[in-house]
Structure 1
């Protein structure tokens, strides 16, 4: 039995962003020492904004973001053009890539291939091929191993585009899955599979605001919540998972949180 996930709680967004920055830089530096590249999967929602605050803040003495060594993938993506307001790529571009000073370097970014927007199975297959080309051929690697996955938690306990009760949660072969009937718009999406998510070296969730307290209580304090997608990531990846939350998001949560710092 492994150790439980780490739950870090902070007074406000600035404090959270500062600790998230330190966590990401530690993951970056560890990855660069292993294989000279930092492979990150990011999700959408409110995450890119907080991540931008964390990575682009003016700080000294914490080391530096080396974007020229980063490869950015998408933990899930919507089947929309890259400049569409629902695009996770656009969120990351607007909040991080466009705002990053030139001296941090430019990451290699892997968006979806918009030629396949009308065929989500093909869109998923093409994105899986992108992973295969990056992480090695399928016959030599059972699952890709991201250095870090940066995820959000929906009010229903979904993460990436893995939704509660979805049969996709039982998929253990494919790396990237198509969705044509997402319960949350837009309906057509692709997502990393649960085994790919939990195979990551480090997995971080960011969840803020009082609107998250009910679902956080479910995920951390109830058996039912442990079957939700976020709960399954906690259960399967255990101490590899770190949650970065503010105090309102864990009001009433019994699971022990470390408050104020990593």
Structure 2
């Protein structure tokens, strides 16, 4: 890495982390809109959508400094090959926690879910989602990788992110934008995910990792060579200062890495 990643640690998720994440996301939004009049975001599931909703939905619709969802294009950093209404669907989670709660005054984002007709064939589902990205980000022969304005990701206790799992062959993929997984170590087994080069290429990446259950993996990622080879560690290594971690004190307890106190 040329410059190190940013690690933020906050006393409270609601009182401290969420407002700082809001500022970070709005800065990314405003930069992107100024650059190309749209804000292209890819999100994961887990606890992230709930924290994101806390961060963004308290905005005053009359304020100029607010989320303008009419400019947002929301993609999925990974998705499970289940119906969009299934409890394991990342889209269902994001819809319930965030999309369905956006006030009309904040606008309506464009959302790009997985093709439900291809759930039985993850490779076809991945190919179809890649074609969607190609259609949005430009012709494949003119763009080597899609440039997301922001990725909003989680970190599993094993160091996985998106549906990129430790030691899986998908981590070695260098060409495809979207990959299929047939044997995820956690259910459901069939999934699609952005590839590691796409994740490393994003303009900004924010990891949200909270709770004492994350402190061991964070210690590994930030302190050990083995941890730097985990998927989250590989994102850190590949993207450097474009990566910011939003954590609470419980998750960073005992982690020997310089902390930043605030975005605001």
Aligned to 1:52: 53
Map 1:108-147 → 2, pairs under 5 A: 108-147=110-149
Q: Is the aligned partner of 1:162 residue 2:189?
A: no
- Deviations, residues 126-163 of structure 1 (Å, cap 9, x unaligned): 00000000001110000000000000000000000000
Q: CA deviation at 1:57?
A: 1.8
**Contact 1:31–1:147 (Cα < 8 Å) also in 2:** yes
SS of residue matched to 1:184: coil
**Contact 2:210–2:248 (Cα < 8 Å) also in 1:** yes
Map 1:39-188 → 2, pairs under 5 A: 39-58=40-59, 63-188=65-190
Q: Is the aligned partner of 1:11 residue 2:5?
A: no
State the alpha-carbon separation in 2 of the partners of residues 62 and 138 from structure 1.
Answer: 36
Q: Which runs of 4+ in 1 moved over 2 A?
A: 58-62, 259-262
State the alpha-carbon separation in 1 of the partners of residues 220 and 45 from structure 2.
Answer: 22
- TM-score scaled to structure 2, two decimals? 0.97
**Contact 1:84–1:90 (Cα < 8 Å) also in 2:** yes
State the alpha-carbon separation in 1 of the partners of residues 104 and 138 from structure 2.
Answer: 31
Aligned to 1:243: 245
For structure 1, list consecutive stretches of 5 or more residues without a partner in the other structure: none
State the alpha-carbon separation in 2 of the partners of residues 192 and 46 from structure 1.
Answer: 19
Aligned to 1:20: 21
State the alpha-carbon separation in 2 of the partners of residues 8 and 62 from structure 1.
Answer: 26
CA RMSD of aligned residues (A): 1.2
**Contact 2:24–2:263 (Cα < 8 Å) also in 1:** no
State the alpha-carbon separation in 2 of the partners of residues 51 and 261 from structure 1.
Answer: 16
Q: CA deviation at 1:61?
A: 6.4
- TM-score scaled to structure 1, two decimals? 0.98
SS of residue matched to 1:230: helix
Q: CA deviation at 1:2?
A: 1.1
**Contact 2:210–2:250 (Cα < 8 Å) also in 1:** yes
State the alpha-carbon separation in 2 of the partners of residues 100 and 24 from structure 1.
Answer: 16
